[in-house]
Amino acid sequence: MKSFWPFNSEENLPTLNVAMLGPRGVGKTSLLAAMYDQFANVSQDLQLEADDESKSDLNKRLQELKTVGDSIKYRPSFTQTKGYRSFKFWFGQTGTNPALQINFQDYPGGWLEEDSQQKKVEDLIRQSVAVLIPIDTPILMEGEGKYHDKLNQPTEINDLFKKVYKDLDSPRLVILAPIKCEKYIKDDPSELFRKVREGYQKLLNQFASEKLVSKVSVIITPVQTLGGVVFSRIEFDNNGEPTFFYRKPQPNSLYKPKNTEVPLRYLLRFLLKLHLDNGRASIFKKIWNVLGRNSGLRNAVSRFTEPRPDEVEIVQGLELLKL
């Protein structure tokens, strides 16, 4: 991942906040690392650059993903992380100065149980144009979903949106991103989409309500964050706690994540649509004005966000994504 822009907060660029919701160990950093690493391979006219701290963390995670052995194991942690993270990126047209700062904000679910932090989390998500919800796919799909509620925490996420998504002043985008999904996307992905809808039914019902259905666009976009590694089996210890095993189909399989750019592509498509609609005044007006002033960037974003044969399901809000 080569640097092409010095990260300088004094530039005072419009900032786009994207909230990331998910417990510790679900794979948020792996998703961002794969997205960042692969972006240059899928976009010729747009560039993405991380600040030094974010780049260091992402590079570290990327090296771990690239050097996994023939098999790996994962013991889910059912405790919440206490730390707050913000991965900062500069975004713009290739060969020009950056036009936008994108912050992927990691708000630990454990904060929602702390009175001193809860309002802060709610305010930050309220100020985010989009929410990215990584889903641990084997946890969702295997063992009849026994650990889904405990690890992926759909109930806690639903309760959070009940508090935050009231009297929205402009549309929002919610991205459900099943990750570690290599095994389930290979042949017929319809079962994966069905299980996501089922596992997040309360959340989707809330978004489909009369007050929110026209303001919240929801998509499901699986991302193969493990590349050449697939889920293998579950083993249980004496206390009945699970360990999830993954393996390489071939010993020489390389790290080749897929569809890592799709969440960002739909995020940009969402922003471009709001800009073209012209009249949706809100806290995001400065971001949309960037597209209005910069026709080169606007055209590059339009090309990048053109519909492609991805495995994506638009659950609701097609009108907020249709250019």
Q: Cβ(219)–Cβ(315) under 8 Å? A: yes
Q: What would the mean pLDDT of 26-45 be, rounded to a whole number?
A: 89
Q: Is the predicted pLDDT of residue 247 greater than 80, yes or no?
A: yes
Given this model, what pLDDT does residue 248 score? 83
Indicate the DSSP class of residue 70.
Answer: S
CA distance 157 to 21: 7
Indicate the DSSP class of residue 228.
Answer: T
Q: How many CB atoms lie within 10 A of CB 268?
A: 22
Q: Which residue has the higher pLDDT, 85 or 189?
A: 189
Q: Is the predicted pLDDT of residue 116 greater than 60, yes or no?
A: yes
Q: Is the predicted pLDDT of residue 3 greater than 50, yes or no?
A: no
- Out of 72-81, 97-106, 206-215, 221-230, least confident range: 72-81
CA distance 74 to 243: 6
Question: Cβ contacts of residue 92 below 8 Å, gap of 6+?
Answer: 5, 46, 47, 98, 99, 100, 297
Q: How many residues does the chain have?
A: 323
* Greatest pairwise CA separation for the chain in angstroms: 62
Q: Cβ(95)–Cβ(294) under 8 Å? A: no
Given this model, what pLDDT does residue 2 score? 43
For the segment 300-309, what is each residue's pLDDT rounded down to a tens digit? 999 999 888 7
CA distance 177 to 27: 10
For the segment 183-237, what is each residue's pLDDT rounded down to a tens digit? 999 878 999 999 999 999 999 999 999 999 999 999 999 999 888 788 888 887 7
Is residue 110 very low, low, confident or very high in pLDDT (cuts 50, 70, 90)?
Answer: low
Given this model, what pLDDT does residue 156 score? 86
Q: Is the predicted pLDDT of residue 102 greater than 90, yes or no?
A: yes
Given this model, what pLDDT does residue 253 score? 78
Is residue 66 very low, low, confident or very high in pLDDT (cuts 50, 70, 90)?
Answer: confident
- Out of 85-94, 131-140, 270-279, least confident range: 270-279
Q: What would the mean pLDDT of 7-33 be, rounded to a whole number?
A: 78
Q: What would the mean pLDDT of 234-261 be, rounded to a whole number?
A: 82
CATH number 3.30.70.980 given to 9-69+86-226+258-320: no
Given this model, what pLDDT does residue 78 score? 44
Q: How many CB atoms lie within 10 A of CB 296?
A: 14
223: nearest Cα among 16, 39, 54: 39
Express as a percent the part of the chain with pLDDT over 70: 86
Q: What would the mean pLDDT of 13-25 be, rounded to a whole number?
A: 84
Mapping DSSP onto H, E and C, the string for 76-107 reads CCCCCCCCCEEEEEEEEECCCCCCEEEEEEEC
Give the global pTM: 0.90
